[in-house]
Amino acid sequence: MTRNTEAMLVLAGATLASLGAAMVGFAEGRWLDATVALTFVSFALAFGSIHVAFRMWAPNANPLLLPIATFLAAIGSTEILRLDPDLAALQRWWLVLAGAAAAGTVWLLRSSGIAVLRRYRYLFLSAATVLLLLPLLPASWPIYGAVVNGSRLWVRIDLPLAGRVLSFQPGEIAKVLLTIFLASYLADRSEAMSTVSRKVGPFQIPEPRHLGPIVVAAGAAFVVLIYQRDLGASLLLFALFVGMLYAATGRGFYLGTGLFLVTIAGGAAYAMFDHVRVRISAWIHPFADYTGAGYQTAQGLFAMGSGSLTGSGVGLGRPDLIPAATTDFIFAAVAEELGLAGSVAIIVAYAFLVTVGFGIALRSRDRFRKYLAAGLTILIGVQSFLIIAGIVRLFPITGITLPFMSYGGSSLLASALIVALLGRISHEEQT
């Protein structure tokens, strides 16, 4: 019954995507063309395969994860197609691949269950560390790190075939692996960490040795910030660590300490690094250096302002004037062409996704599954919050992708894996 609802909603999402593609065609003066059909086929393949995988190997999975993901990807792909048809063609391939990977994950976990991941936690930790360090490889190696927009978070591989270059962001996958590690680690230790053992003044604090993880977290986030100059990833990792500690122990102490540490680290980063100072000044005074550092933020603001209530219509605005409109700033592009109505719809969809995710975490009886569901939800929630907040100038620009919507294979793959894992966790809770 509910699986059929899921199928209907996924189909509706795929239809929205092809309707979007058709609108892009109309605006450019073309009648229905092959892109419309290709969009529908890629969505049906990608999300249909996850749906079939759920049906076969996790029949009690929450039926709402997939429709929301399809919806977000549909709006995103419409805007990508409107901005850059070549990227949209690539994105269709990424979609199908990410869908296949997610379906494969559901298949892999079909009999062993999600608990099998708990056993390999140090494997995941090492893999995540290696992935995070990959972008630091020297440029002379066959696999090498690359600096894009001042951040060193890309890895490129020169394929022997036809001299093609394959690039990906290993950090996207690393964050999912780290979440699995943390969930497993905390499932073993949360009791000790939540019992109060001593008091210092008005604060009840846990044993000092239980503070280890949070200090390591702050350190890791800071290292990422220093060596890869990636404000977004470091904040995301830190929020993940602190959020999961809080979810596992229910102690506000960790949130308070986390906030304190992030303030200290933020102040230190501001004092030490030029690129952080530039980000902050572009956030507070985007028009002071309109043609330079503030350009992206300012263009995003113009785009959202001209979008007004219902937007210019797909294909009728000028979102191509926003730097990185297909990736980090896709929210501004949607806000221009679909207006406040479209952007509110996106925020509501993310809120729904977070609701469903925390719902799964709350229902889980097993600690590992509970913390994993909470962690994966924190990832999606914090990541979408950080970048949307950056675009609307609630927060400095962090330069991370919007899950499911931005162009990018690594980002889509990570988001699809999160959906597969959440689906599997909710399946195990119902049986």
Binding site residues, another protein, CB under 8 A: 5, 9, 12-13, 16, 19-20, 23, 26-27, 29, 62-64, 67-68, 71, 75, 190-191, 194-199, 204, 250, 310-311, 313-316, 338-339, 341-342, 345, 348-349, 352, 355-356, 359, 362-363, 429-430
The token pair at 170 is 């290993």
127 versus 373: smaller Cβ distance to another protein: 373
Q: Is 4 exposed, middle or buried (0-12, 13-18, 19+ CB in 10 A)?
A: exposed
User: Measured between alpha carbons, how far is 429 from 42 in angstroms, rounded to an integer?
Assistant: 31
Least CB distance to another protein at residue 123 (A): 28
60 versus 281: smaller Cβ distance to another protein: 60
82 versus 229: smaller Cβ distance to another protein: 82
294 versus 423: smaller Cβ distance to another protein: 423
74 versus 298: smaller Cβ distance to another protein: 74
Task: Answer yes or no: are the C-beta atoms of 356 and 62 closer than 8 Å.
Answer: yes
Give the side-chain half-sphere CA count within 13 A for 239: 18
Least CB distance to another protein at residue 75 (A): 7
Least CB distance to another protein at residue 173 (A): 28
User: Measured between alpha carbons, how far is 399 from 62 in angstroms, rounded to an integer?
Assistant: 31
74 versus 153: smaller Cβ distance to another protein: 74
Least CB distance to another protein at residue 296 (A): 26
156 phi/psi in degrees, rounded to 5: -120, 145
175 versus 370: smaller Cβ distance to another protein: 370
- The residue to which tokens 């000790």 are assigned: 192
Least CB distance to another protein at residue 247 (A): 12
Parallel, antiparallel or unpaired: strands 151-158 and 143-148: antiparallel
Least CB distance to another protein at residue 236 (A): 25
Least CB distance to another protein at residue 259 (A): 17
User: Measured between alpha carbons, how far is 390 from 382 in angstroms, rounded to an integer?
Assistant: 12
14 versus 400: smaller Cβ distance to another protein: 14
Least CB distance to another protein at residue 405 (A): 13
Least CB distance to another protein at residue 15 (A): 8
Q: Is 396 exposed, middle or buried (0-12, 13-18, 19+ CB in 10 A)?
A: buried
116 versus 348: smaller Cβ distance to another protein: 348
Least CB distance to another protein at residue 137 (A): 43
- The residue to which tokens 């690039």 are assigned: 167
20 versus 409: smaller Cβ distance to another protein: 20
